[in-house]
Amino acid sequence: MSKQPIHHSTNLLLILTLFLFIGTGCDRAITEEESAEKVKIGAEVLIERHLDELSGARIGLVMNPTARIGDVHMLDTLLSLELNIAALFAPEHGFRGEAGAGEKIEDGVDQASGLPVFSLYGDTRKPTPEMMESVDLLIFDMQDVGARFYTYIATLGMVIEAAADAGVPVWILDRPNPAGGNYVQGWMLEEEYTSFVGPYPIPIAHGLTMGEIALMMVGEKWLDFHQQPDIRVVEMEGWDREMKWPDTGLNWVPPSPNLPTFEHAFLYLGTVFYEGTTLSEGRGTPDPFLTIGDPTTKLTPDQLNHLQSLSGSLMIEEATFTPISIPGVAPTPKHEGSESYGISISAIDYDFDPVLVGLEIFKTMLNATEVYEQYRFLYLLAGTREIDRLIGGDISVDQLEFDLDSFLERRSSYLLYP
């Protein structure tokens, strides 16, 4: 049975967008069953067991909107416990999540608390010695998505470097890797493509928690410091490496405005590559990284059938969409106001490989697009130019070899969870 194209009007886009960002953060495509006992995140363990160790210290918080216990931000919790919070440090998207992807963050003041906010995603991406003078201890708490190109990893590394040189300890409050601790996939980063979206020699999906990757950064000497870093991971309880996000019993808080649900974040591991091309990755629609296309994309019936046969875990349909500006989310999306053609993707379950499936979709969508450009940013995301061989048809996805044995052996020394 053929599937009818999906057409999203501008008004419908606005309504759906509001629904996504005002809603509870639950997955829209998959009903998550509550775990018998939810994972206890590092932030909860900190509150329960380690508050006395923070008494009297001037504390700096490196956090974003995901730094929550339930519905309450850690800043508000720590202030209510009368800890001495001295400064806030804002990564990409801002401390409270007020900025879209790539938007410059300015130094300022947190309106709710009156505390100074130092930007780590503007002219300065590494805390300066002057910033470090105001704190005795840094607490880092952010939900990662498990991807090498997610900039919170680079921010973590720079925070550890600056803190080491200032003699300031860093505590990392650990949270789950949403894709699971055993999911490791994709090209290793080649040194030539080191950047803020590829700071360390790890694969596309690394399978580490933020605590584990902090330990690996230091242990493998990926960082630049003059004094040995003083880092401490406040570990989770009840998390194991087999768990994907729906198994944790935790509510999803978007780690960035364009990943409103875990479904978006899981597919993002393989649909991020459109950011290195002129094709739309769906910013400016309710479903970024699940809505893909271009004004010149024309899928043939064979191409559409191929995509629809990739996995029984996915539903892929033809889509017609018009990206619009969404302040704070996608202020200037590609092809803004232009009707675009392509696909919409939704997950039935998560029993598929998002990187490999994403690369197959990527190759097919490029072949179906009459006019497009690709940029060097594509190689920064892939970590290599090997992706050109895939695009050009020299190799197929099932012929890809990522040579991950060495990485897996090295990372084994830093794993904190079974």
User: Is it the case that residue 29 has pLDDT exceeding 80?
Assistant: no
The CATH 3.90.1150.140 portion of the chain extends over 6-31+258-384
Q: How remote is the C-alpha of 395 from its chain's centroid?
A: 28
Residue 107 pLDDT: 85
Q: How far is CA 24 from the centre of its chain?
A: 19
Q: Contact, 67 vs 74, CB < 8 A?
A: yes
The answer to whether 328 touches 98, Cβ cutoff 8 Å, is yes
Report yes or no: 281 and 275 within 8 Å, Cβ to Cβ. Answer: yes
Name the average pLDDT for the chain. 91
Question: Which tops the pLDDT comparison, 352 or 30?
Answer: 352
Among 204, 78, 93, 210, smallest CA distance to 143 is for 210
Residue 169 near residue 137 (C-beta atoms within 8 A): yes
Mean pLDDT of 400-415: 97
* Strand ranges of the sheet holding 291-294, from the earlier edge strand across to the other edge: 6-7, 314-321, 340-347, 291-294
Amino acid present at 127? P
> CATH classification of 6-31+258-384, choosing from 3.90.1150.140, 2.30.30.90, 3.40.1190.20, 3.40.50.150?
3.90.1150.140
With tokens 């998002």, the residue in question is 354
Class of domain 42-251: alpha beta
Residue 101 is predicted with a pLDDT of: 59
- Can you give the pLDDT at residue 32? 41
For 17-96, list the strands marked E by DSSP: 59-63, 68-69, 72-73, 85-90
Buried b (16+ CB within 10 A) or exposed e, 112-141: eeebbbbbbbeeebebeeebbeebbbbbbb
Which pLDDT belongs to residue 386? 97
Whether the per-residue pLDDT at 288 is higher than 70: the answer is yes
End-to-end CA distance of the chain: 45
pLDDT in tens, 336-385: 999 999 999 999 999 999 999 999 999 999 999 999 999 999 999 999 99
Residue 284: pLDDT over 70: yes
At 112 the pLDDT is 85
pLDDT at 99: 55
Q: What H or E segment, with its residue span, contains residue 340?
A: strand 340-347
The C-alpha atoms of residue 17 and residue 50 are separated, in whole angstroms, by: 39
Given a cut of 60, is residue 400 above it in pLDDT? yes
Q: Where are the alpha helices (DSSP H) in 314-416?
A: 354-367, 376-382, 386-391, 405-411
User: Is residue 96 very low, low, confident or very high in pLDDT (cuts 50, 70, 90)?
Assistant: confident
Share above pLDDT 90 across residues of the chain, in percent, rounded to a whole number: 85
d(C-alpha 393, C-alpha 388), whole Å: 8
Q: Model confidence at 98, in pLDDT bands (50, 70, 90)?
A: low
Across the chain, how many H-helices and E-strands are there? Answer: 12, 15
Residue 42 has pLDDT above 80, yes or no: yes
Residue 369 forms beta bridges with which residues? 297
Taking only the tens place, the pLDDT of each residue in 3-16 is 333 344 334 444 34
- Among 198, 156, 204, CA closest to 356: 204
User: What are the tens digits of pLDDT across the range 151-177?
Assistant: 999 999 999 999 999 999 999 999 999
Name the residue with higher pLDDT: 216 or 226. Answer: 216
Q: Are 161 and 225 in contact (CB under 8 A)?
A: yes
Q: Cβ of 9: how many Cβ atoms within 10 Å?
A: 10
Q: How far apart are CA 201 and CA 346, in angstroms?
A: 31
Residue 94 pLDDT level (bands cut at 50, 70, 90): confident
What lies within 8 Å, CB to CB, of 323 at 6+ separation is: 280, 282, 283, 284, 285, 330, 333, 334, 335, 336, 337, 338, 340
Whether 182 has a pLDDT exceeding 60, the answer reads yes
CATH 3.40.50.12170 region(s) of the chain?
42-251
H/E stretch holding 284: none
